[in-house]
Each structure stands twice: as structure tokens, then as C-alpha cells.
Amino acid sequence: MAKTATDINAKIEPSMITIATSVTPSDEEKIQNESPQAQTVIIPKCQPATPPEFTAAPRGDEEFQLELQRSQSRSIALLFPEGGLSAWLVVFSGFCLIAATFGLGSCIGLFQSYWESHQLSAYSSRDIGWISSTQVFLTLFLGVQIGPLFDAYGPRWLTLAGSVGCVAYLLMLGECTKYWHFFLCFGVLGGISCAILTTVALSVVSHWFDARRGLATGVAFMGTSLGGIMFPLALNPMLERLSWAWAMRSLSLIVFVFVVFGNLFIKGRLPTGKKGGVISLKCFQDPRFAWATIGIACFEFVLYTAIGLLPTYALEQGFGHRVSFNAIAVFNAGSGLGRYTAGLIADHYGRFNSMALSVIISIFATFALWLPVGNNVALFYVMVSVFGFGSGSVISLAPVCIGDLCKVSEYGQWYGTSYSAVAFATLISIPIAAELQSAAGTTAGAQLPTIGWFQQREIGYPNSFQPEPLECLNKAGKNRSRGRHGCLGYCRAVLLSIMASTTATWQETAAAYRSIIAEKIPKEWRLPASITDSISQTSEQNVLDIPRTCGILTKEELDITENYDAVAMAELLAQGKFTSVAVTTAFCKRAAIAQQLTYCLTETFFDIALERAKFCDDYLAREKKTLGPFHGLPIAVKECFAVEGVRTTLGFISYVERPVEPAHSAVAQILIDRGAVLYVKTNIPQTMMTAESDNNLFGRVLNPHRLLLTAGGSSGGEGALLAMKGSIIGVGTDIGGSVRIPAYVNGTIGFRPTARRFPVAGQASAARPGGWGILTTGGPLTRSVRDVEYFLKNFLGAENDIWSLDETAMYAPWRAVSPTFSEVAGKKLRIGFFTESKKFPLHPSVLRTFKDAISKLEAAGHIVVDMEQHLPSQYLDKAVMTAYYLFSMDPSNYILSHLKASGEPPIPSISNTSLPELKHYQPTVDEAFRINLERRETCNQFKNAWVKEGLDVLIMPVYQGTAIAHDTYGPAFYTLLANLIDYPSVSIPYGNANSELDAPFRRDVTYVPAYVPKDVEGAPSGFQILGRPGRDEELVVSLKIVEDAIRV
């Protein structure tokens, strides 16, 4: 039933009566057409009344009359349509503009991962992250100016300017090639353009809705959800199939469609042309506004921090990387539902009441759901969705609450001013979160959202209340296994892509994981950009001296890392002359430096190492004895060895979803039982079956002698780390030369024991389970020959009972032999040698140093025998072919399934690792029998020649060249023999490439790979020594004798 004028007048204020009586017939008709609700407040026209704010100003000038007319027009506009076609088209325009701005933010992770691997590959994830940070900060901060401009001039021209800017910055983004290009284009122009569109899109809704403003704003905000789904799905295939420039042009076309619709239907209702449009902070004089802004800032500080920690928390809990990305998607889904639902509820029960309820839901999600999550993935998803629902409600209600505190004509200024202050809260939330994470571990991630408070006050407004400040504080606990894992770069990336895609490309996954790894290095250990900017795989730079000159290491730390081998350091630790904490700190810092220069590491766990070192020191002080022969000694291990609480990925993208290791591998357990401190895992090749340590997850290991040269594989990270003196001793594995090759190309020593003497339990492999043929074995990489004997004697000691840790290990504890290692003076050896295969002739550098070593051995009185004449023709060629047949015995190519799981491509070196004769080889059961017979005959021929000549050892090249250019190493031709016949072998450095000295040794042969003197200048050379199977002890003694002879 229609209400009478008397009924209405009894329920409205005098100012509302003035509004009603000021309506002209044309205005009345307009309002009736736009909204049926507006008809209920129309009063038949009476004597016009002057608006109260002008009754005290009896001026008759033209300016006064104009202002009076504008005031009356504004009064008419204050009758909100609350619906109708025009109003909802305005909401639709806001929806489109939000999708083109906040929605596009979901692609920031894609942008950053692409830049990291392409145009900005020389910059760190942290540096690239600041480009996106700038855009988000400006998007929020510039509202302080955009808001007043909107109030003064309306939405039309601002929307047009912002739309042109959004399309333009994407078009120009396709032409960017340098860091400052991206910063100005994406960060600055993108931030300004997004600031205009987001401020206008949210402000204009307030012109058309009052009672239903919560719902309308929530619907407009849902454009973020549409963009968050659509843009990543569109951009992923674009980046894969198109060039960067055309991908950006295509993306700009999609954004163009959105902003066209935004411009077509956007419309304000207040008169324009008002003087002003300048920044004003007078709104802070209203205590309600000040408290509301503080409250919003506090909540968004906590919210963005929590969002940034969610993926890292998922990873550290062992849920896997897909769960970490899905967490953001689930959060987004809950947030979208929360925005819509909160709008409906807020319009009926009060905006601030609903805001408080949303905060309570978020806190409930933290206390009742997040804290007890543990390893429960299902509960984690429930928590994320509930937290998303509550926080999404707050995000959409915050602008509505601000609108309730001001006149509609000032909404743009109040909203923009409020969020310019909020921008600072979101900007500082990430560094603070990272510091708390660094200091307290990832358990703080579950507690951090409860640290903060939300307080809002509203005086005299019917839908407000005055709550007391809500303060929730949880002291961050310390997690032994996951402390100090900084997450700044990754948190920033996640913050800037709140509406993340439901699925991640392998590039995104790799970039995000690398960012996590990079942020684990403490800031004070990070090299300046002046050093890291020049690091690349094409650089000729030698970086061996940078740890000494960079200023990060103290004088004592330089002494610790440079002047002692493992034997000397173990003695000093046992005597208490160095503490384990000091030694571990020194090597952790130097390893961090080495990682920034050569990418030699995968996982770092410096916090665990330092706690272990302190335990060693405390034990020594309390018990007056050591934990064992490795007491307090930092030892690095290859990526494939399981370390409790640390993830093993083998460099595969698909493996990042795997949980952390629940227990130590046999190797790690023995090291710890003997007193060692584990602190890093080292980088490897994809599949661990090439001599180039490169993978899509951790990147390529660079040779510190010359960065453009390979660091070898598959223990390439160990070799580079040892050469950089970031390790005093390391443990790798060898199935075709994987210990000896990295040691050789990096100028260190690498020992391959007889298979099955070294335990393999808990050692991850990319190969198909159940395979047979050539066995892998672990082995040490060391700085000195005596370190080899020290490590093997203590690692393979009878007291370790290796068989109890690995049922495949044979009982063969280290034996005492005569002469002992320290009694080799005067001992003469009968040494066989094998120079080269015509298929892979030695490069001049290797030929020269190998012949020189033979000459020195002869000069020292040792008997040397050329074994080529005592072995069948082409013996080495046939033996290597047999070895590669054994490696090819899996018809399913199981090893490549790890790549298909994530869609990552094979690394370049895989294509030239095998022999071309095996390109189309298809193994059968009959072939397996044949190959095994060939292997047995190969072993028999070698053994017969060895026994006939009465050899003690045999020396031969490790490789036909020195370290060579990346991706050109090819087959491991010279090292495979020892693996095939299972003879212990050790690589020892001797000499360096020198183009002047090498020139006389250059021959008219085809060098494979090509010999390029200028590229390999100064690269280490050397050779390997083979001993009898199971006689590793005698080989170590012979190694000492050979070293004494060649060092003369």
C-alpha cells in the first residue's frame, strides 16, 4: 500500500524534507523511471525551501545562486535508485574494470617467471619482484589523488584515461628488454592506470546504491574472480606458443574488450565541474574515519601476510607445490563467495556488524583450523576456504564501510585517502612476515594471522557499533627443522597474484621454488648486484677469488675455509681450537656465496646445521670427548641423499610436490653418527645421467674457473662447491663417472669405491626401480689425497655396520694394509696406462698433461706399461658400447616419465649424452642375455691383461678434453670402463690448459667435441687411477705414491 506524505515526513529528517520538496517535475519523472523504490519518498511539490546549509548566507550574487542550484541537484541525486537497468550496468562496468586490473594481477606470477628465464634472467627473483610490488603499491596509494578527481569531474574521463593506460602499458610491455623498461612500464604506468580504474570502479557504485551498496560492491569485486580464472588460462598458452611481444598484444586485446564495456556503461549521478580535485587529508579529522582506516590497514596487513605465507607453509608442511598453488585457488573461491554473501548480509544487518563478523570468521579459521592443521591436507583446504570466505568479506565491505562515513559527493576522496594509507600496510607486511618467518620458522606462519588487531568506531550511525579493540597475540615458536627459511621473494610474488591460477606451468613452479630457495640465504650473506649482475653461463669470468674479496667473510672465516683440509680441521675441532659453530658458520657463508656465483646448491638448511654444530660443541665441553671422527665437521651431500626434514627433488619439477624426507639415508645417518654436520645438498643434472649438471628447477651449475665451462655431472654441484672452498669434503655418487668427472673439471679429487661397499639405501634415483646392470656407488670429493683415506677409513669402518642400514651392501669394512698410507716412501709401482680411443682423441691439453705425468712416474722409478697392446683391438670402444646398452635396457623410458608429469622439457645435454648407434635401439630379453655375456667377457679380458702384466694400478684419461663449453660434453667415454667392470677409481688433478704449451700437441684429427683453445684456457686437467676390485685400500695407498711422484 502506498505511503502518505505524512507517514513519510514522520520518518525522515528536515534535510530529507528539503530534498523532497526541491524535486522538479522533470526530476520526479527521471527518478520514477530509474527506480520504483524512489517513488515512495516523493512528496507533492510545495513551497520550495532553501537548503539549511545556505540559510545563513543571504547573498544574491550569481555565484550563490549557482551553488544553490548545484546543492539542489545534489539533493536530487541523493535519492539512490538502488537498482534498475542503469544502476546494474554501472555495476557491470565496475565488474569489467576490476577484472582488467585486480583480475589481471593473477598473472603476475607468470610474468615474473617468464622474465626470470628470459629478459631479466640476470636478476634475482627479489629484484624482479619489486617491479610488481611497485604496481600494487601505486594501485592502492594513488587513490588519495584519484578519489578527489573522481568527486570533482566524475568517472567518464578518468575511466577513459585509465583504460588507455592499461592497454598501452601491456602493448609497450611486449617491447621491453631491460629492467628499467619493465619497471617504468609495468610498475609505474601499470600502477597509475590500475589506480585510476580501480578507484573509479569502486567509487561510482556509491552513486547508485545506498541500502544495497554492500551487495553491489561485492558483485563488482567479483570481477577479480573472473579475471583470476580467465587471464592465467589465456596467458599460459600464449607464452608457450607466441613470442613475448605477440603474447602481450593478445593480452592487451582482452583487456581492451573489458575496458570498452567499462567505458560504455560507467556513469556518475552527481554533477561535475566542481572546483577541487586536490589531495585533502581533512577526512582524518573524523575519528570514525581514522579508526576505520587503521582497522582496515591492520586487517589487510594480517591478510596479505597470511596469503603470502600460505604457499610457503604448504610446502614446508610437505603438502607439495601443487597444493601450495591450489591453496590460493581455494582461497580465491572462498573469497568470491564471501564477497557476495557479505554484501547481502551487510545491507540487512549493518556494514560494520558484518565486517566484525567477517573478522571473527577469519580469526576462527586461524585459531580453530590453521593452528591444528599439522600434516592434514584436507583440514588445510577447509581452513583456507573458511579464511578466504571471511577475508573476502572484509575486502569487499571495507569500501562500503568507508562510504557510510561520508557524503556520497566525497566518497572518492575518502575511499582514495583511506586506501593510500592502507597501501603502506600491505607494502611493509611482506618484509615483516619474512623476518618473522626467518626468526621463528614456518610454524609462525600458522600463528602470524592472529598477530594484529582490528578496531573500528562509528558514532551516531544506525548500523554501527563501538567494539573494544580486539587483540590476538601468539608468540611465534621456533621449529628446529624449519627455522630461518626466509620467504620474502616468494611471499611477494604470491601477494601480487592473490587470484592465482588453479594450475601452474612448470615455469611458474620452478620460479616459485627457486625464489623460496634463494630467500633462505640470509640478507647479510648476499652478494651485491655489482657482482651478481655479471654472472651468466656465457661469461669467461673466474670467480674463485670473489669469496675472499667480497667482504662477507671475516678474517677468521677466510682462514677456516682456505687453509685446512678435512684431516687438519678435524684435529683442530677435536682439540677445541675451533668451535664447530665457528667452522659451520664459515662454510655456510662460503657455500651461500658459491651458490650465488655458480648455482651449485639445491637445498640449504643452515639453521639445522648451526643447531647441530652447537650440540657438538656442548657435547665436547661436557663429555670431554668427540662424537666421532667427523666431530663438528661440515660435510656437503649430493641432492639424491635423503636428509631428514629436507625435500629431495632430483631437480624434477614434479618432485616438488613430494613431502620432506621422514628419515636419513644410510649415508647421512652414518655421517651424523660419526659426528658430522650436514648443511647443504648440491646440484645435479636432470635425470642424473649426463655430465652437465643442469635442471629446470635449480638451474645450471657453472664452473668457477670459467663460468662458460661445464662443472661436470652428475655431482657437478659438489665439484663446484669444493672448488669454491664452500665445502671441506663432499659426498657424491658415481654410475658412469659422476664423482670423477666433476672433480676433474673443477680441479679437485674424486674417489669411486667398489660398488656395494658404499650403502645406497635412502638414495633417490630417477631410473626405473628393479633395474639391473651397472651399479651406482657413493664416494667422496676432497681437497687432498689424505682426506680420501681419512673419509673412507672412518666411513667404511666396521663399527658402522653398514649392512644393518642397507641390505644390498656387502660386509667389507676398511682394512689396514701394508705399506700404510703414511709409509709409502720408496714404494715402487707397476703402472699400466691407456692413452686414448681413436673415436675420441685427446685434446692437446689433456694429451700434454697425461704424457707429462707418465714421464714423471717413469722418472720416479715406477714401471709403466702401455696396455693398449695387451688388450683386444678397440677394446675401450666395445666396452663403452656394452655399458650404454646396459643403460638402455628400459623399453618404457621410465626416466622420462618424471618430465611428462610436469610438462617440463628435457635439458639440452640429454640429446648428446648417449651414443648415436643406440638412437633406435629396442631392448629385448634376448638382448639382455647377450649384453650380460659381453660384459662378462669385457671384465675377463681386462682382468687377464692386468694379471699378466702384474699391475698395481692403471692410469687413463678422465675425458678427452678439459672442462668444455656447456652442453657439449657428450658421452662419458673414458670413465665408464671402471663402472662397467666395477674397479675402484680416483680422479686426480694435474696441470691446466695452456694454449702456448699445448700447441705442439695439436694433431690433424677430428676432436669431439671441438677443441677451442681460448675457451678452455686455464681449465684444470688430470687423469684417473684404477685399482683392483675390492682393493680400495691399496688404491688409496697407490694414489698417495702417484701424487708424490707427479708433484715433484
Based on its alpha-carbon atoms, the radius of gyration of the chain, rounded to whole angstroms, reads: 36
CA 149 to each of CA 145, 153, 205, 217, 686: distance values in angstroms, whole numbers, following the listed order: 7, 6, 16, 20, 56
E strand spans, 162-251? none
Handedness of CA 6, 11, 13, 18 (dihedral sign): negative
Residues whose CB is less than 8 angstroms from the CB of residue 700 and which lie 6 or more positions away in sequence, other chains included: 537, 599, 692, 693, 694, 966
The span from the CA of 578 to the CA of 368, in Å, is: 48
Catalytic residue numbers, as ranges = 638, 714, 738
Q: What length does the chain have?
A: 1048
965: helix, strand or coil: strand
274 within 8 A of 151, measured Cβ to Cβ: yes
Bridge partners, 453 (sequence order): 471
Residues whose CB is less than 8 angstroms from the CB of residue 136 and which lie 6 or more positions away in sequence, other chains included: 105, 191, 426, 495, 496
Q: Provide the terminal-to-terminal Cα distance of the chain, rounded to the nearest Å.
A: 113
The span from the CA of 895 to the CA of 768, in Å, is: 6
114: helix, strand or coil: helix
The span from the CA of 961 to the CA of 982, in Å, is: 24
Q: What is the secondary structure of 746-807 as a DSSP string?
A: HT-EEEEPPTTTS--TTB--SSPTT--SSPPEEEEEESSHHHHHHHHHHHS-GGG-GGGT-T
Please name which of 495, 356, 473 lies closest in space to residue 423, comparing C-alpha atoms. 495
Residues whose CB is less than 8 angstroms from the CB of residue 4 and which lie 6 or more positions away in sequence, other chains included: none
| The dihedral formed by the CA atoms of 203, 204, 207 and 211, expressed in degrees to the nearest 10 | -70
Q: Can you read off the three cell numbers belonging to residue 288? A: 570514525
Preceding omega of 908 cis (within 30 degrees of 0): no
872 within 8 A of 930, measured Cβ to Cβ: no
The span from the CA of 559 to the CA of 563, in Å, is: 6
The span from the CA of 558 to the CA of 556, in Å, is: 5
The span from the CA of 948 to the CA of 71, in Å, is: 113
The span from the CA of 106 to the CA of 232, in Å, is: 7
The helix or strand, by DSSP H or E, that contains position 730, with its residue range, turns out to be: strand 729-734
The span from the CA of 481 to the CA of 443, in Å, is: 10
217 within 8 A of 342, measured Cβ to Cβ: no
425 within 8 A of 301, measured Cβ to Cβ: yes
Residues whose CB is less than 8 angstroms from the CB of residue 257 and which lie 6 or more positions away in sequence, other chains included: none
Strands 634-638 and 729-734: parallel
Count the alpha carbons within 13 Å of 301 in the hemisphere toward its beta carbon: 21
Q: Can you read off the three cell numbers belonging to residue 846? A: 689433456
The span from the CA of 206 to the CA of 400, in Å, is: 8
Among left, alpha and beta (phi > 0; psi -120 to 50; other), residue 753 is beta
Bridge partners, 956 (sequence order): 1024
| The dihedral formed by the CA atoms of 541, 544, 545 and 551, expressed in degrees to the nearest 10 | 100
The span from the CA of 398 to the CA of 292, in Å, is: 9
